[in-house]
Amino acid sequence: MSIPVPIPVIPVPIPVPIPVIPMPIPVILVPIPVPAVPITLIPVPIPVTTVPVPRFPAAGWMGHGPMPGSPRGIDLNHNFADLNTALWDAEDNDLVPHEFPNHYIPIPEYYTFANATVAPETRAVIAWMQCYPFVLSANLHGGELVVTYPFDMSRTYWKAQELTPTPDDGVFRWLATVYATANPAMASAERRRCHYDDFTRYGNIINGANWHTVAGSMNDFSYLHTNCFEITVELSCDKFPHASELPAEWENNRESLLLFMEQVHRGIKGVVRDSDTELGIPNAIISVDGINHDVRTASDGDYWRLLNPGEYEVTARAEGYEAATQPCRVYFENVPTPCSFRLERARGRHRPGRTRPGPDPALRLQRLRLRRLRAHGRGQ
């Protein structure tokens, strides 16, 4: 049953809040046998359209542009803020992670302007993502048979295809592989190409940017602006399958969906508490040694961090507290390893519970760009 849920505006740690146009998004809460996991489905973020969708041959509707009837011709899946460029500029200037974050990257100011080409549906989805501490997500598309994982945007801006992995490439490859290998249509040795690309040579998974680069994808935005790891699943060669084909499509994807959702337990979880009060510390940063991507605790101090099996050195830090580090081991069973922290108040210049305002990363980057432009002008 689809229940229209109004999306509230929740304050989040970004320098420029996004103006959100309240609108109902159909959300389905489904009891699926994945232990202790709240599961939310959005059937489609695009409003119902009266524009007729033409039937195409079994090869499906080719292309990845705007769907017929989408508002203002906007491709909603690629309508999110480009946070990749800001991160890579900061990395090139050695600002990460001390002066520019490697996670929860702030949304650029231009994206919040009233005349920005941002659909109200996109704004609503962003607000929804900011409301809840999602851990794992899948974007379900049609028109191909492959699972793609971030990054979707190539780091070399002029390259249409370039392998551009995230710091969590191993985890993303595992998530994509779990889905692809459990999908009979993808895993079949007799499967044919949908169009031109032969994805079987990659195991039916591919890095998004290595397929075709796009800026502002939901996958990249989820990874860089929230704690959520998101992949895209191209479910079928036919982008608009006939209703009679849907039972077969469900059978092809049912087990894949269940196995994918079970991966939410792969990694570590815990609570970061104040050692004196035992209260949870919100927005504490969880860092894993060797992985240049952090996550943050939720409002009650708890966190979830997807990791492949192995031994890790994990550090928790928060403003006004001494950082703490401990080893955490992730096992092969789909059971998260408890890894909690009790942080002591910092002694010295910081007063307990107070935070020190830091530099604005966006302003810092703007100054660096202006400095480079001036230097370039003098050199001519």
Closest C-alpha among 219, 22, 216, 24 to residue 107? 216
Sign for the CA dihedral angle at 276, 277, 278, 283 comes to: negative
In terms of phi and psi (left: phi > 0; alpha: psi -120 to 50; beta: otherwise), the region of 259 is alpha
Closest C-alpha among 300, 147, 325 to residue 236? 147
**Dihedral angle of Cα 46, 51, 55, 61, to the nearest 10 degrees:** -40
What Rg value do the Cα atoms of the chain yield, rounded?
A: 22
Closest C-alpha among 19, 16, 119, 27 to residue 77? 119
Return d(Cα 2, Cα 257) in angstroms, integer. Answer: 19
259 by Cβ neighbours in 10 Å (0-12 / 13-18 / 19+) ranks as middle
Count of CB atoms within 10 A of residue 275's CB? Answer: 13
Length of the chain counted residue by residue:
380
Q: Name the residues annotated as catalytic.
A: 234
Return d(Cα 149, Cα 306) in angstroms, integer. Answer: 15
Say if CB 185 and CB 191 are below 8 A apart: yes
